[in-house]
Amino acid sequence: MVAPAPDGAPHDWEEVARRTAHSCRDMAYRHPRVFPLLATRAQTSPVAISALESLVVAMRAAGLPERVAADAPMVLFGFLNGHLLACTGGGPDGPAPVPEFDSGTHPGMAALAPRWADFGSVAEFDRMLDIVLDGIRGQAARSS
């Protein structure tokens, strides 16, 4: 599930998290009908455990507090599973388009809908992943 570091050298936890997240995204888009089975079951395969091990080892090596290192993988995979289920729910054709919202009934949603035009794209995925990683980094700073 996690792609190895290109040069084989150890990398910081955020690089490991990004590689893991993109590997998971790539797999979900390659296999949109299989991904829901993986996302809705405990991941205890050697591949899944190795991915988690790489992440927690990098987090601990970076000095993240133990509570953060324990919680962060669950937060990351919670985001990945939820987001990728939403994006791949349309099957091989990709995500369903964002619906149009009635500005009289849902003015906030109608105002933001144009910003969701890239739903399912790599750019959108990276923006959301940045929010998750920023939150983990912030929690680590507050817990130190």
Task: State the pLDDT at residue 4.
Answer: 47
Average pLDDT over residues 38-63: 90
Is the pLDDT at 3 greater than 50? The verdict is no
Evaluate the CA torsion angle 130, 51, 62, 78 in order and state its sign. Answer: positive
Place of tokens 């933001």: 112
Task: State the pLDDT at residue 127.
Answer: 97
Helix residue spans in the chain (DSSP H): 13-30, 35-39, 46-61, 66-88, 107-112, 122-143
72-130 confidence digits (pLDDT tens) = 999 999 999 999 999 988 766 667 778 889 999 999 999 999 999 899 999 999 999 99
pTM, two decimal places: 0.85
Task: State the pLDDT at residue 91.
Answer: 65
Residue predicted with more confidence, 98 or 55: 55
DSSP 8-state secondary structure symbol assigned to residue 31: -
- Helix or strand or coil: residue 122? helix
Structure tokens at 100: 């149009």
Beta-carbon neighbour count of residue 21 at 10 Å?
25
Task: State the pLDDT at residue 17.
Answer: 97
Residue predicted with more confidence, 5 or 128: 128
- Cα gap 52→45, rounded to integer Å: 11
Task: State the pLDDT at residue 128.
Answer: 97
- Please state which CATH number belongs to domain 13-143: 1.10.357.10
Place of tokens 């990945």: 80
Task: State the pLDDT at residue 96.
Answer: 75
User: Rounded to the nearest 5°, which phi and psi values hold at 138?
Assistant: -65, -40
The residue ranges of every structural domain in the chain are 13-143
7-37 confidence digits (pLDDT tens) = 554 569 999 999 999 999 999 999 998 888 8
Structure tokens at 78: 């919670």
